Amino acid sequence: MSAWSWGLTELRQGVDRVEHSYRVLVALNTAQGHLRSAESAARGYRRTGAPALYAELRELVPDVREQAAQLARLTTDNPPQNQRVLQWQELIEYRLQELTALADGETGGASADAALAGDVRAGTTARTSEAATRILEVEEELLLERRAIIDERTGRLTGFVVLGIVLPLVVLTLLLQGLLRENRRSRRLEREARNAALEMEASLVERDRVTEQHRLLGSYTGLLQSCQTLPEAFELTTSLLQHLLPHAGGHCYALDASRNLAEVVATFGTPVAASAEVLSPDDCWALRRGQPHRTDDRHGHVTCRHIDRPTAGSGVWTLCVPLVAQGNSLGLLHASALGNDGRTDNDTALLETVGEQLSLAMVNLQLRESLRQQSLRDPLTGLFNRRYLETSLERELARCRRRGLPVSVLMLDVDHFKLFNDTHGHAAGDALLQKVAGVLASQVRQEDIACRYGGEEFTLVLPETDAAMAMARAEQVRATVAATTITHMGQQLGPATVSIGVASAPVSGNTPGELLEAADAALYRAKAGGRDRVEAA
C-alpha cells in the first residue's frame, strides 16, 4: 500500500509539473497575442487618428504587463527559465513604451508614415518575438521531459497494480479512476494550449486585415485632399470602397443646390438592397436625423423609404451615412450587403470614416470652386472680370498664332451712362449694366469670352474671327442692345445704345496690350463720331 501511495504521489507531482508547463505556454501565448494587438492599435491610431484604436491600446497595455508578470511568477521554480522570462519582460516593457510614444505622436500625414517606418526599423518586435520563441522552445522541451516522466511513472504504477492484484477491487477501481481523471485533465490542458495557438493565429490574420484597411484609409485621405473636382473625389471614394468592402455595394448621393433632392453621382459594387436613383431628404432617416442609420437583424428593421423593402429582409444589412460638414447636408453614402456576423460592425465603422472624410472634401471643393468663380467673375454682371480677360486673351493669341488663325476683340461702352446713372439712380444703372451683360452673354459662342472691362465698358474676345466677321458680330450686338429696354421698379427705361471698337490680330497687334489699345482707340472714334456705332481699328 505504501508503494502505491508513493507511486501516486510521484504521478500527481508529474501531472502538476505538466500542468505548470501548460500554464507557462498559455501565459506566454496570451502575452504575445495582446502585444501584437497593441502594436496594431498603436500603428492604426498613428495613421488614422481613430479614438477607438487609442482606447484599445490603453486597455491592452496593462493586460500585457499582467500576463508578463504572471509568466515571471510561474517560472520562479526554474531559475534559468525565469532569467529568460525577466529579460523578455524587460523587452516587453520597452516595447510598450515605444508603442505608447508612437500613439502619442501626431496622427496622419507624412510624419505618421515616417514614425511607423522608424518603428519597424527599430526591430524591437523582432527581438521580443525571438526572446519569446526561446522561452517557448525551452518550456516545450521541459514539457516533453515531464510527459516522459509521467509515462514512466504511469508504467511503474501499473506494475504495482498488477503486482497488487490481490488487493481489494475497490482500491484498484479508485486508482484507475484517478489515473483516468488526471489523464483527461492533461488532455484538456493540451487542447486549451492548442486552441490558444489557433486563436493567436486568427488574431494575427485579423490584425493584418485591419492594418491593410488602415493603410488604404490613410492613402485615401491623402489623395482626397489632392482632388480638384467633386466627380474626381467620388470616383476615388467608390474605388476605395470596392477594395475595403468587396462584399458590399451602394451609391454616393449629392444634394442639389436647393437641398430638395439627392441624386446618385457614383456607384460601387453590387447593392443587395436596391435604392432609388433620386430621393428626397425626407425619404432617408439618416438625412433627417443627421446621423448614420443601419438596419439588420440586430439593429432594427426601420427601413428608409428610398430602399426597396422586399430585398431588405433577413440576412441583409443596409447603412445610410449622411454627408454633413460644417452643419450643412451635402449628400448621402448608402451601402448594403449580405451577412450579420461581427464583421458588419467593422464595415459600419469604415463607412462612417469614409463618409466623414468625403464630407470634408466636398465642402472644401465647393468652397474652392466658389472662391475660384469669385476671383474670375464680376459680381454684378456675372461676366468674366478684367484679370481673367488678360490671362485668357494672351492664351488665345498664342494658340491662334500657332495655327495661323485671327483673333478679334470688341470694346463696348454704354453711351451716356453717367447721365443715365445720375438721372435714374445707381440701382437703375446697375440694372442697365446687367441688361447689357445679358445681351452679350446671349450673343457669344461657346469659345468666345465676354468680360466686364471696368465701369460701363465691356470686352468680347472672338477667337478664330477675322476683322470682317468681327465687324458683323459687333453690328449685331449694337443692334440688339439698341432694341432692348430695361424695366426697373415697374418703370420702363431706355432704350440704351453702345459704341463699339473692333481690333483684330495680327493686323492691329500681336500682344494683348496692343490689341486692347487698338480696340479702345477705335471705340473712342465711334463715340466721337456720334455714338451708337461700330468703328474698326
Q: How far is CA 433 from CA 323, 378, 380, 460, 497, in A?
A: 40, 11, 8, 15, 11
Q: CA torsion 256→261→267→271, rounded to 10°? A: 170
Cell triple for 131: 526572446
CA angle 326, 230, 45 (to 5 degrees): 60
Q: Where are the beta strands (DSSP E) in 415-456?
A: 449-454
Give the bridge partners for 483, in sequence order. none
Between the alpha carbon of residue 216 and those of residues 48, 88, 240, 242, the distances in Å are 10, 34, 7, 11
How many whole angstroms separate alpha carbon 350 and alpha carbon 340? 16
SS3 string, 168-236, reads CHHHHHHHHHHHHHHHHHHHHHHHHHHHHHHHHHHHHHHHHHHHHHHHHHHHHHHHHHCCCCHHHHHHH
Check if 356 is active-site. no
Q: Which residues partner with 463 through β-bridges?
A: 407
Torsion of CA 160, 165, 171, 177, to 10 degrees: 70
Closest by Cα among 453, 437, 440, 447 to 515: 453
Cα(271)–Cα(263) distance, integer angstroms: 16
In this structure, the number of other CB atoms found within 10 A of the CB of residue 231 comes to 12
The catalytic position among 10, 456, 457, 535 is 456
Return d(Cα 435, Cα 360) in angstroms, integer. Answer: 38
Distance (Å, whole) CA 517 – CA 400: 19
What is the separation, in whole angstroms, between the first and last Cα of the chain? 132
Torsion angle defined by CA atoms of residues 501, 507, 508 and 510, in that order, rounded to the nearest 10 degrees: 130
Any idea which residue has 468681327 for its cell? 470
Residues 6 or more apart from 497 whose CB is under 8 A from it? 414, 415, 478, 481, 482, 531, 532
Beta strands in 50-124 (DSSP E): none
- List Cα–Cα distances, 333 to 269, 289, 328, in angstroms: 13, 14, 15
Which active-site residues does the annotation give?
A: 456
